[in-house]
Chain A
């Protein structure tokens, strides 16, 4: 079976000369949830930006069998839903409902279908009460869930979440995990939050200096790099 994501020997250098990815190999199978761990600046976020064609380095990245190139970009962006670290950057429309409709409308759905998709996903993540609010009137947890809804409304096959629990209080974290658990998509989760990783993932990869230096069972990876704050 074709893997959902296949990355071979990916290298990327930022304009200022920093080598951010130095030969990354990675495969994601259907239904898998993988935690992306590693120190700050090790290339995790740069890596996930490649999965959606937002950055393009050397090497190959394919999503559901499609190479990421100009012709496939719209299709790839439909398959891979990226939830950004800073929800304020993702919620740019004037109201929650318009923001969640933004993706479906770009996919070419007519307004009625887009509205239905938006309302369905807002219910799914439990923020339907906020549909007519402006994003700056939301709490951090609500913002995060609306950002997630905006991506889910496009019905992606793969969800990529960049630090989904930053700025969330414990109830907010729990609520988010409950929502994520109920989603059928394969998930890639960039996180420092070991609790979150344990709640959702069995497999983990560990980034260091732009490379994946470990790929295996989450608990083994945590132990090998002394990555669990409770035991480290």
Chain B
């Protein structure tokens, strides 16, 4: 499963894995802004951004083909919009859409693949992302496995009794929803039982060391050079 692979990657050990998650998130944000604001048809820029992503993959020791393949998950969406641009006669815009979305997805994968989700969530929290939003992502991530396991069990049960057809699948989704809802209530109960009063307190977060600040400074400088360098030359 998609997030199971990411989960495995994120628990690796590399130079990038060891860095403070906040720095990685900030750096990613800067990179995404740079990519998004690069104007027009700019293959030179894109190539340089691509190089930066490759460097990230190498630094995090992630499997390159798998990253490239998984980043393609955004293509159906961006290609749909690119199609509209093409129809409107703006082919350079179409190319830019596809290139930028792919680069962005790959960059997100590098960060998500080098940071365990709990750390990523804590980083978002400390960067003042609303706590409620972080909590929703946290629960989604926690129970995705449980719910998908439940769905697998239901499918097996159906198959063992003669088949898994579309109509059956539709009914199963309804049952799965009802069960998940009941589970949510039980989870809430378990939270109350251990003193939940509306907010989830967290442990002392990671402290940023000089390597983390160095990564942020060097990374931001690099992004600035990538973004504005080619235009100055």
CB pairs A–B below 8 angstroms (30 shown): A49-B189, A54-B192, A78-B195, A84-B189, A86-B186, A89-B183, A89-B186, A89-B190, A90-B190, A92-B143, A92-B187, A92-B190, A93-B142, A94-B142, A97-B203, A101-B203, A102-B200, A105-B202, A106-B194, A106-B195, A106-B197, A106-B201, A107-B195, A111-B204, A135-B142, A136-B142, A136-B145, A150-B194, A151-B194, A154-B194
Q: A52-B193, A154-B194, A154-B195 are in contact. Are A111 and B203 (CB under 8 A)?
A: yes
Q: Which residues of A contact B201 (CB under 8 A)?
A: 102, 105-106
**Contact, CB under 8 Å: A74 / B203:** no
Q: Which residues of A contact B7 (CB under 8 A)?
A: 134
Contact among B190, B196, B203 for A115, CB-based, below 8 A: B203
Residues of B in contact (CB 8 Å), total 28
What are the 8 tightest A-B residue pairs by CB atom distance, in nearest-first order? A106-B195, A105-B201, A94-B118, A103-B194, A111-B204, A89-B186, A136-B145, A90-B190
**Contact, CB under 8 Å: B187 / A89:** yes
Q: B92 within 8 Å of A by Cβ?
A: no
CA of A112 to CA of B201 in the docked complex: distance in angstroms? Answer: 13
Interface of A is mostly: helix
Q: B132 within 8 Å of A by Cβ?
A: no
Within 82-110 of A, Cβ neighbours of B (below 8 Å) are at 82, 84, 86, 88-90, 92-95, 97-98, 101-103, 105-107
Within 173-200 of B, Cβ neighbours of A (below 8 Å) are at 183, 186-187, 189-197, 200
Min Cβ gap B126→A in Å is 13
Q: A114 within 8 Å of B by Cβ?
A: yes
Contact among A74, A94, A106, A136 for B138, CB-based, below 8 A: A94
